[in-house]
Amino acid sequence: MKPRGNLDEDRKLRVLIGWPHAKSSYPSSLVERCEAALDTPLGQLSTEQLRLLIGQEIGLEFLAEKAIDLIEMDPLAHGDFYDGDLISMCQKIPAAFWATHPDLWFRLNEVLEGFDRTVEAVNEHRAQFMAANPYGAR
């Protein structure tokens, strides 16, 4: 298992996972975007690139922690699809990965539990707001 944390942010994922640069026999927009992300230094990966690579289960050993770092700062961090698409994608990471990285699972779960508490509080206040609605009940 390769170590996480304190990675050289100037290194490219392609080098870290040992994938050679070769022309794909299946050129598509998805493949082209993944190839570009693989050649981007870790410190310059966008939220969308993290979402994309995690969704393809590429480089989880190096990217899951980076994604969780972002999610801890903003649970609704997003790529190109919708607010929170990064946390949604991280929830789809296979159980086998979490089994070998329980510390990351607990960090992500803590964010999810905090988000649940926030939504509950907002909904409670929303009920009070709607009860005082001067424009009639909905």
Q: Is 0.85 surpassed by the pTM of this model?
A: yes
Range of the domain at 98: 13-131
Which are the contacts of 60, defined by CB distance < 8 A and separation ≥ 6?
Answer: 54, 93, 97
Structure confidence at residue 5 (pLDDT): 57
Helix (H) or strand (E) holding 36: helix 29-38
Does residue 67 lie in a domain region? yes
Count of domains in the chain? 1
Angle at 79 between CA 119 and CA 27, to 5 degrees: 145
Does residue 138 lie in a domain region? no
Query: How much is the mean pLDDT over the chain?
Result: 92
Q: Are 28 and 56 in contact (CB under 8 A)?
A: no
Structure confidence at residue 135 (pLDDT): 84
pLDDT(2) > 70 = no
Does residue 5 lie in a domain region? no
Q: Under DSSP, is residue 12 helix (H, G, I), strand (E, B) or coil?
A: strand
**pLDDT band at residue 46 under the 50/70/90 scheme:** very high
